[in-house]
Every structure is written in C-alpha cells, then in structure tokens.
Amino acid sequence: KQEVTQIPAALSVPEGENLVLNCSFTDSAIYNLQWFRQDPGKGLTSLLLIQSSQREQTSGRLNASLDKSSGRSTLYIAASQPGDSATYLCAVMEGGQAGTALIFGKGTTLSVSS
Amino acid sequence: DTGVSQDPRHKITKRGQNVTFRCDPISEHNRLYWYRQTLGQGPEFLTYFQNEAQLEKSRLLSDRFSAERPKGSFSTLEIQRTEQGDSAMYLCASSPVPHEQYFGPGTRLTVT
C-alpha cells in the first residue's frame, strides 16, 4: 500500500531564507507527483506537477525534484516571503492506471516571519 | 471564473440528517474526483468519475454515501443519516489529460 510521508510537519523561518520541504513515498511505481499549497480553511492550489519520467519542475521561486528510485521528492522555496506561509502537501498518483486517486501526505505547515 | 466550484461552502447539520454537496468542474475536464479531509490530515480519496461513469470508489465511501455525475457535467455527493464522524472538508477536483488535478474551495461539513 502506497504511503506518503512529509518531513518536517512544521517549519518556521525568517523572511528571505531558502528552504527545502521533503516528501517520501513507499512504492516507486508512480505515474506523477504533485505539490499543492493549502491556506487555512481553503482548498488546494496546485504548485507543480512532475511526471514520472521527469527529474524536476520549476515555477518562479519554486523548484521540485523527483527521485523515483529512492522514493523522494523535494520542494525548494527560494527567498521565502511571509505570503508563503501555508501548508504544503505532496501527493502521488500511482502507476498502472493513470487518472485515478492522488495519495497525499499530511503536509508541512510553513510559517515565514517578517 | 473557470475554476472548480463547490456549493455550499459551509454546511451545519444535525446528526441523522441528509446532506448533498455539488461540484462544478472545469468545463473541458472529463475526470472528476471527490476527497475528504479532516483536521491535520491530507485529503483522502473517496470516488472518481470519468465523464458520467463512476470508475472507482474508496472503502471510505460507506453505504451512506452516494455520488453521481449525470451527463458528465456537475457532480453531487450525498451523505445520508449523517454522523459526527462525517464532519470534514469535502473537496472536489477535476483533471484533463495529462492528469494534473485542480481542486475547488471545498465544502466544510459540521455535524452537531
């Protein structure tokens, strides 16, 4: 059974720091991996999607990497800002039947202080 | 607005009542998903439609839960005889090929 783990569960940093959020998954046979942002009481905003054949994706100050063989992904946030404060969720879609459920980690709650 | 929409945004109901939620996906997306999220947890998959066909259901979707997607457009999720354990955020997502899922704002259900 696929399990997704995110470390750390919470992170507090001062504004301007670069930071890394970690995601690990137990079964490397994934179709894709998606990183989301969730503000308190709100829905999920898709940040980056990495297909299983890709190694990384970049969007602005965000960079996500994928190492399928080791079952790991990282989300790198450069020059953090208070507006980055949110919960970041990692989710994998298992291979074999594309278009089915995402399996989520519990998230990393980030707080960026000014 | 071309995003996924959900209605209502909040619902408070008494235990034992029935509730129904609606999701309108992005118009060109043929895949629609329902998830449930409780406090401090990641979303958990409930069910998935491709067009009007319900192709997969989680074990979380007990007999009290039913979902429909008539004509492959909007979808409804009904919970019968609600229990306090049903209190959660219910999230809807839609996706096109190549399967990036876009989520709506969610419906927060509180069962008293």
The answer to whether A101 faces chain B, any CB pair under 8 Å, is yes
Distance of alpha carbon A64 from alpha carbon B31, whole angstroms: 25
Is the confidence at residue B56, as pLDDT, over 90? no
Tell me phi and psi for residue B69, to 5 degrees. -145, 75
The mean pLDDT values, 10 residues at a time, for chain A of 114 residues are 94 96 94 94 94 94 96 97 98 75 95 96
Which two tokens mark B77?
């999720």
* pLDDT, average across residues B79-90: 97
In the prediction, which pLDDT does B20 show?
Answer: 98
Spatial distance between the Cα atoms of B12 and A68, rounded to a whole number of angstroms:
42
What is the distance in angstroms between the Cα of B80 and the nearest Cα belonging to chain A?
Answer: 24
A94 contacts on B by Cβ (under 8 Å):
none
Peptide bond into B8 cis (omega under 30): yes
Residues B13-53 have pLDDT tens digits of 999 999 999 999 999 899 999 999 999 999 999 999 999 99
DSSP state of A79: S
Q: Are B33 and B45 in contact (CB under 8 A)?
A: yes
Question: How is residue A19 written in tokens?
Answer: 């930071």
Residue B1 has pLDDT above 80, yes or no: no
- A23: distance to nearest CA of chain B, Å? 13
Which pLDDT does position B89 carry in this prediction? 97
